[in-house]
Structure 1
Amino acid sequence: MNHKMWYTSPAAEWADGLPIGTGRLAGMVLGGIEEERIALNHEWLNVGCNKDRKNEDRSRYLPEVRKLLAEEKYEQATLLANEAWGGNGGISGRPTREDSYQPAGDFRFSLDHGDASNYRRELDLEKAAVNITYDADGKHISRTVIAHLIEDCIIVRIYAGEEPVSGNFRLVREEDPRCDISYDLGNATIIMHGAFHGGMKFCVKADLKIRGGKISKAGSNMLRVEGAKEILAFINIGTDAKGELPLEECRRHPIPAKSWDRLFTENVAEHEKNYGRLHLTIDADVPDIPTDERIKAYKKGSYDVTLPLLYFNFGRYLLCASSANGELPANLQGKWNQDLMPAWDCDYHLDINLQMNYWPAESGHLQDYANALFTYMEKMVPHGRDAAKKLFGCRGIWFPLSTDIWGCATPESYGWSVWVGAAAWLAQHMWWHYEYGQDEEFLKERAYPFIKEVAAFYEDFLVKDSDGIYQVMPSQSPENRFVGGGDMPVTICVSSTMDVQLVMDVLSHAAAAAKILKVDGDKIEKWEEILEHLPPMKIGSKGQLLEWNKEFEEAEPQHRHVSHLFGVYPGDQICPERTPELFEAAKKSLELRLAAGGGHTGWSRAWTACLYARFGEGDKAWEHINALICDYATISLLDLIGSRVFQIDGNFGGTAAILEMLLQSYHEELHFLPALPTVWKSGKITGIRARGGFTVDMEWRDGKLVKAGITSVKDRDCVIKSGNSSCIVRDSWGNPVNCRFMDGKIMFHMVKDRMYFVTIEK
């Protein structure tokens, strides 16, 4: 049951619906009885007016801003920076706002029948299918909705066991003064055309295919089916985002000449290729009650230790459904949005949210679905080069804090958007893809060129002070401010802790990549010289890791961001073995932030869970996973920010936290069950990935590892952090493997693609 979410009533609102998607297309199925509503999205469908935003040359302001910072005139420096680089200061031309992600409309239908009984609404995560069943008028009616990955369309099947079914089918979109809607109606086709004033054009096309019965027109936007034994609806969406007519995009996906059974079976197989790579099971009873009742009981303290497992599986499913065939990465709401004016334009925020969306991709064995992120990053490079040159007079690339489908590198407003760490943080994901997969071709052709662009920016942007220390000027801790810096929402400073950590992260990866590829020896020397002369991270009077370069008074001690803890997770600049004092200081910082009321969004709770997993405190990580479910989720487990605003990053961050609780692989050392929560006493996971090209299977009992199986994508040594445990390693044939033991670690050599088994001696 931990791959199924099910309910005994339709969704009361959109956020309680069940999501499906191909990556390009998305649908939210509400499961109505009197009328079904499937809310539709297309990944490129934006208003489409703002793609021509350009940067002006503002680099002349940089010396004066730096002078003010050197004089510790933080308020004046912040105000000047806002004038220089803020979107409202004239930097980007009109309009200054980013583009807004839009709903395509709804596919709706109502069937001819009386009252329904025995209703069930279900999302099968393994089969990627929404099923709605009920009894009415002596018939057992089944409605199934899938997002077909091969045909790249949404398919609805209605069937009543060969009994005749009749009903009305239509396309509709909420009234929008910015958008003109018209319809074309064929003998078995409905086409809804949309055109935003001065912006994007789109169309939604629904084709009906029936067995038995007849189809007739029933209005400008409606078809009627009478007496059909089976009804199939094929839905597609097209836009002119890439220069073609919207209907042409739809026509590239014609109605497949396949039976329903074949369509369904092949889609399950295609989905399973990725979703099925990893399986996690917990030895505990699963309540056989509807998911909303499980959540309600969980909030009241029920001992349902497998509900977080369902949350985990749902997170992996969402990554599949929002990325599979997509050309764009998952945005703030994945690919699902019903609002004409969505929160934060449903855009891409690059100071945690977009990155968190892909935190579970590599270790969660969904690495193929990170490609949309990489493609988007590469698309931004020309814009980023232009921005780096015009805004700061630097080589390399600079990305803003937030952007949209066009990938413009243009700030909206200084307080939020001009921050120099966004591209560095995204570069981490390309390095991860290499670390986990060991694909040197990817490193050479995609990762290293991008990382090198970011490194070039820092080579020019960093300022060497009188003590020979490279400072980040101007700098900020994203979206946060300190007392004495003025009333702007963000205060600029010199070398925030996060910015220093990001420089460490990207330059160390640049140097490592260059050494692997045997290129750019002169660059390696420069990068390593910078790394040796960066500002040290500092510990404050309360034993906490400082967020800024001085112990400023926090304006918001409860702030939702914990940017200065990047070096703990997702970075690795702070760890218990190499920087134990900073590790403890980071833990203290998190405790202080939470004590002040922090962690008050879904994604912030998810990041907190990841941090506690990295701290090795599984029960505390578990507490925050619980909070995600109890306080920040709908009844369909979609993540919330605020009371009812859906934002998907918390789903992905929570999934990543559970992976981090089960396996860590920093510095390519495997650490089994580093933060296993007490309540998950016994269980098994197969297919979890680790840095260094490893894939790991593990089984544990009574909180202790029983055995692990490890494979590697290449011949290499394997290092396992074993503590005081006594381990035996055998190869696939059961032969003992020669091991070296040193400082609580086991080392042995592995042959590519061969399974090695590690067992713990009692």
Structure 2
Amino acid sequence: MNSSNTERRRSAAYKLTFTAPAAEWNEALPIGNGRLGAMIYGGTAEEKLALNEDSLWYGGPRDRNNPDALAHLETIRRLLLEGDAEEAQRLSLLALSGVPETQRHYVPLGDLSLTFLHSRETSDYERELDIMTGIAAVRYRADGILFKRELFASFPDEAIVIRLTADRPGAISFLTRLTRGPGNRYYDEIVKADAGTIVMRGNGGGAGGVDFRTVLRATAVGGSSSIIGEHLLIDRADSVTLVLTAATSFRFADPEAQALSAADQVSQTAYDTLRERHADDVRSLMGRVSIRLGSADENADTLPTNERLARVSEGAEDTGLTALYYQFGRYLLVASSRPGSLPANLQGIWNDRILPPWDSKYTININTQMNYWASENGNLAECHEPLFDLLERMREPGRCTARTMYGIEEGFVAHHNTDLWADTAPQDLYMPATYWPMGAAWLSLHLWEHYAYGLDRAFLERAYPTLREAAVFFEHFLTDLPDGRVVTVPSVSPENTYLLPDGRPGILCAGPAMDSQILRELFTACIKAADILGVDDDFAMRLKTLRARLPQPEIGKHGQLMEWLEDYEEAEPGHRHISHLFALHPGTGWSPEATPVWTQAARVTLERRLANGGGHTGWSRAWIINLWARLEDGEKAHDNVQALLAHSTLPNLLDNHPPFQIDGNFGGAAGISEMLLQSHTGELSLLPALPIAWSEGDVEGLRARGGWTVGITWSGGALREARIRALRDGACVVRMRGDAFVEVVAEDGSAVEASSDGAGRIWWQTCAGTTYALRRSERSQQA
């Protein structure tokens, strides 16, 4: 392969490319620095950036806990345990619902438009996003002049930067303005700060809504710039740098002073310095993992991204696009969740609607959690931190909800949604989701996951009180059944409906399988954490006793895992949620080897779901990929990767629920990782779900629980080499497909004494900071 082809293929591995501007939001390209985001359309007559700031939401904090909940709680429990779901549901709508029923919703910062004064006739158009550097670019010719734009959202400099150049002096003329909302009616004023700066002032709306300020500054080389009314005008410049900053009163007492100060600092820095600082920052995260799946398809690699996606929709295999999709998922996390920002919401940070789908907030019965499935194994651990920050802010509201709704004085609780203000009261009047009390419990497990990967004792010391408090709530909330088991009641199995024997639908229930599985994970994490830290022996013993009384998984009449305590039929057999497979993924308790009966029942459950139309939403399909990977079925996992790309991916590679919802991107990336490396059983399982289509390839930089960083090379469907870097001293246990005849060599070239059980496992003692290479030996290759 000649050097130009090599460079083109390397470029294709990290670039989304297009040959036309975005016709709509679903074709635009996302940039972000965690706090600020933009969707770039790349137009030639007019460029548009749809803007967001992560803390700009409608309305302020409220106490929405229903004051009548506690008085009716025992009646609701009694009705459910007696089998009267209908009456329990009627009373719950009145007594358990939030007052008012809805939380706050995320809103856009506005739009930035640039109207160009050159000819509308253009040629040689190119639009791209380099996800290794986080830089978007637009190139085209008009009037015989080559125009270029580069755009990025800088984390180090806290600004969106736009650079406009041309290959002829004095060629750049345009006018630009800030607008917000339909009819441009959702801000208060635009003022001139100085000769090259305008400021938009406004409020998110609603009682207690945050104030926002958006600053736009233009610096031109050559030509002239001026402000007329709400417009910045650039006339016959050689080059122009636009800087956009924003701040809200959620973080700053004086958001205007903050935004202007940030613009001042950026404007005083040379563009090349800004660009390099930004690219180095993104590259430092994105460059930790490389991935190649299957052999090269040079024809596909040179096609625009939307055409490659269309080919997959028609049945083509494009392993390069799959690898790009994986890295794009990591890029979206880098762009939407950085230390100090809010966590990625239902749309990351990219929302263009004043009233967005599902409020674009934090849905914590799967979606927010899925946003972070790829953070640890994808080597982006610091991008996980905003979720922990939100969870910490949820503790005080969650204590209030625990007291007011449930009469519990210890611990904290949250339901299926939260918002900017860490609201924990039930959201909506949607029976299949609203009255589920497991949100804080599931979120708290992310603290344990972060520790399990990084083994940072200091972090565990900080996280343990939150884990403990989430578990303490359920010490008091769990209800005894006559047979001695303890269950959550009232609850639901998100967001499913069962059928009673007489055909009537039921939703509220006692002890759905997911709740027991989450609590088993939470109690186990607390027990392990207490042991590591040498604290809370009595509490750990109480949790062990409670854990033993949780319902065990049961198998129903179809051979499926039962979702409820009774073997009900489902109203919707192809339902998008697969809640009762939590223990398989993202839980860590099951595997085909350790729990073959339950995993076989999980397989039946998945097959029944898919046979009845399951996986019809992007995030549900992504969850299914992870589940098949945990079942070590590479072909089924691959089929669902293909389906995710073919049916649930927009032209710009964003996930399509529909409409756009970002969790499918994150869940899909996590699923690809799970197909190549698993660590939930306490071992490193290499290539556990490798499909035939990926029969050769390599990956570098994946992380595993236990403090390992792993690289793998394979061909012919078999391992050729694995590279394992140890964070700590201790035993490393590796499981791989096929035989275990491998040589283990330390990075200094010395052989390492290793043991094998002859059934695919090998183990040896590690030294912190050392990389070990596992290579297939001659004996293995001859065999």
Q: Hey, what does 2:455 align to over in structure 1? A: 438
- Alignment match, 1:574: 590
How far off its partner does 1:309 sit?
A: 1.0
Name which of structure 1's ranges 653-662 and 724-733 shifts more when overlaid on structure 2: 724-733
Partner amino acid, structure 2, of 1:14: W
Deviation at 1:237, TM superposition (A): 1.4
Pair 34,587 (structure 1): closer, same or farther in 2 beyond 3 Å: same
* One-letter amino acid matched to 2:577: H
| Greater shift in the superposed pair: 304-313 or 331-340 | 304-313
Find the counterpart in structure 1 of residue 199 from structure 2.
Answer: 191
Contact persistence 2:497–2:507 (CA under 8 A): yes
Q: What RMSD, in angstroms, separates the aligned Cα atoms of the two structures? A: 1.8
Q: Which residue of 2 aligns with 1:495?
A: 511
Q: Which residue of 2 aligns with 1:284?
A: 296
Q: What is the CA distance between 1:330 and its match in structure 2? A: 0.4
1:255-288 C-alpha deviation (Å, 9 max, x unpaired):
3222211111111111111111111123322420
SS of residue matched to 2:94: helix
Q: 2-side partners of 1:539 and 1:532: how far apart? A: 19
Q: Give the equivalent residue in structure 2 for 1:261.
A: 272
For 1:604-623, list aligned pairs within 5 A: 604-623=620-639
CA distance in 2 between partners of 1:421 and 1:490 (Å): 19
The number of equivalent residue pairs is 752
Separation in 2, partners of 1:176, 1:213: 32
SS of residue paired to 2:50: strand
**Counterpart in the other structure of 2:680:** 666
Q: Which string of whole-angstrom CA distances, capped at 9 and with x for unpartnered residues, describes residues 480-523 of structure 1?
A: 11113999997111211101101101001100100011100101
Q: Which residue of 2 aligns with 1:383?
A: 397
2:115 pairs with 1:99: no
Distance 1:208 1:564, change over 3 A: same
Contact 1:39 1:106 in 2 (8 A): yes
Picking from 212, 215, 221, the partner of 2:225 is: 215
CA contact (8 A) 1:479 1:489 kept: no
TM-score normalised per structure 1: 0.96
Give 2:436's aligned residue.
Answer: 419
Gaps of 5+ in 1: none
Q: Is the 8 A contact 2:217 2:263 kept in 1?
A: no
| Alpha-carbon offset, residue 61 of structure 1 | 2.1
Question: Which residue pairs with 1:167 in the alignment?
Answer: 174
Deviation at 1:352, TM superposition (A): 0.5
CA distance in 1, matches of 2:667, 2:503: 31
TM-aligned CA deviation for residue 564 of structure 1: 0.3
1:730: how far off? Answer: 1.2
Residues 102, 428 of structure 2: 8 Å contact kept: no
d(CA) in 1 for partners of 2:612, 2:242: 52
Structure 1 residue 728: Cα displacement? 1.4
Q: Is the 8 A contact 1:43 1:326 kept in 2?
A: no
CA contact (8 A) 2:180 2:186 kept: no
Measured in 2, the distance between the counterparts of 1:303 and 1:351 equals 33
Residue 543 (structure 2) aligned to one of 527, 530, 534: 527
Is 2:199–2:213's contact at 8 Å kept on the other side of the alignment? yes
Distance 1:485 1:129 in 2: 58
Aligned partners of 1:406 and 1:603: how far apart in 2?
25
Moved more, 135-144 or 117-126: 135-144
Q: Kindly tell me: are residues 721 and 197 of structure 1, through their superposed partners in 2, closer, same or farther at Cα, counting changes over 3 Å?
A: closer
Partner Cα separation in structure 1 for residue 28 and residue 67 of structure 2: 44
Shift of 1:197: 5.4
Q: Which residue is equivalent to 2:152?
A: 146
Q: Secondary structure at the match of 2:245?
A: strand
Aligned to 2:281: 270
Q: Residue 113 of structure 1: which of 80, 104, 118 is its match?
A: 118
Alpha-carbon contact 1:696-1:711 (below 8 Å) kept: yes
2:135 is matched with 129
Shift in CA distance, 410/489, structure 1 to aligned 2, threshold 3 Å? farther
Deviation, structure 1 residue 192: 1.5
Does the 8 Å CA contact 2:145/2:168 hold for their aligned counterparts? no
Distance in 2 (alpha carbons) for counterparts of 1:543 and 1:509: 30
- Tell me how far apart the structure 2 counterparts of residues 495 and 575 of structure 1 sit (CA, whole Å): 23
Give the Cα separation in 2 of the matches to 1:487 and 1:378: 43
2:21 to 6, 10, 25: 10
Secondary structure, counterpart of 1:102 in structure 2 = coil
Q: Take 1:77 and 1:581, find their aligned partners in 2: how far apart are those partners? A: 34
**460-469 vs 38-47, which deviates more?**
460-469
SS of aligned partner of 1:501 = helix
Tell me, in whole angstroms, the C-alpha distance in 1 between the residues paired with 2:560 and 2:187: 56
Following superposition, the deviation at residue 57 of structure 1 comes to 5.6
3-state SS in 2 of match to 1:388: helix
Query: Aligned partner of 2:296: which letter?
Result: A
Deviations along 1:111-164, one digit per CA (max 9) or x if unpaired, are 221121100000011111110001112211110101111111000000013521
1:24 pairs with 2:24? no
1:231 corresponds in structure 2 to 240
Q: What fraction of aligned residue pairs are identical, expressed as a percent?
A: 38
1:663 counterpart letter in structure 2: L
Among candidates 433, 441, 446, match of residue 429 of structure 1: 446
Distance in 1 of aligned mates of 2:526 and 2:318? 45
- 1:652 paired with 2:652, answer no
Alignment correspondent of 1:48: 59
Alpha-carbon shift at residue 102 of structure 1 (Å) = 0.8
Which residue matches 1:297?
Answer: 311
Check conservation: 1:22, 1:326, Cα contact below 8 A.
no
SS of residue paired to 1:508: helix
CA contact (8 A) 2:338 2:385 kept: no
Aligned residues of 1:85 and 1:411 also touching (Cα < 8 A): yes
Q: Deviations along 1:603-627, whole A, 9 cap, x unmatched?
A: 0000011111111111211111111
CA shift, 1:745, in A, is 2.0
Measure the CA separation in 2 of the matches of 1:200 and 1:485. Answer: 51
Question: CA offset at residue 332 of structure 1?
Answer: 0.4
Partners of 1:489 and 1:48 lie apart in 2 by 36
Deviates more, 1:271-280 or 1:743-752: 743-752
Shift of 1:97: 1.7
> What is the SS of the residue equivalent to 1:656?
helix
TM superposition score normalised by structure 2? 0.93
Deviations 1:378-406 (A, max 9, x none): 01000111111111122211111012111
- After superposition, residues 246-395 of structure 1 pair within 5 angstroms as 246-255=255-264, 256=266, 257-282=268-293, 283-286=295-298, 287=300, 288-394=302-408, 395=410
Indicate if the aligned counterparts of 1:476 and 1:490 stay in contact, CA closer than 8 A.
no
SS state of the match for residue 319, structure 2?
Answer: coil
Check conservation: 1:727, 1:758, Cα contact below 8 A: yes
The Cα of 1:179 is off from its aligned counterpart by: 3.3
Query: Which piece of structure 1 moves more, 141-150 or 194-203?
Result: 194-203
The residue aligned with 1:729 is 744
SS of 2:693's equivalent? Answer: coil
| Post-superposition offset of 1:374 | 0.4
Secondary structure in structure 1 of the residue aligned to 2:374: coil
Contact 1:472/1:494 (8 A) holds in 2: yes
Aligned to 2:483: 467
Structure 2 counterpart of 1:562, from 574, 578, 586: 578
Contact 1:478 1:490 in 2 (8 A): no
CA distance in 2: counterparts of 1:380 and 1:720, whole angstroms: 39
Provide Cα deviations, 1:331-379, integer angstroms capped at 9, x if missing partner: 0000000011100111110000000000000000001000000000001
In 2: Cα distance, 1:580 partner to 1:477 partner: 24
Deviations 1:149-187 (A, max 9, x none): 111100000001352111111111233698343211231
Tell me which residue corresponds to 1:686. 700
Task: Give the equivalent residue in structure 2 for 1:76.
Answer: 87
User: Which range moved further: 160-169 or 341-350?
Assistant: 160-169
2:375 counterpart SS class = coil
- Distance across 1 between alignment mates of 2:139 and 2:452: 45
Q: AA paired with 2:175?
A: N
> Mean alpha-carbon deviation: is it higher for 254-263 or for 699-708?
254-263
Q: Aligned equivalents of 1:310 and 1:244: distance in 2?
A: 41
Answer yes or no: is 1:397 the counterpart of 2:412: yes
Work out whether residues 499 and 505 of structure 2, in 8 Å CA contact, stay in contact via their aligned partners in 1.
no
Asked if the contact 2:66/2:97 (under 8 Å) is kept, the reply is no
- Counterpart code for 2:240: I
Secondary structure of the corresponding residue to residue 570 of structure 1: coil
Q: Is the contact between residue 712 and residue 750 of structure 1 (CA under 8 Å) also seen in structure 2? A: yes
* 1:457 and 2:462 correspond: no
Matched residues in 2 for 1:350 and 1:621: separation? 25
**Aligned to 1:5, what secondary structure does the other structure show?**
strand
Can you give the 5+ residue segments of structure 2 that lack an aligned partner in the other structure? 1-11
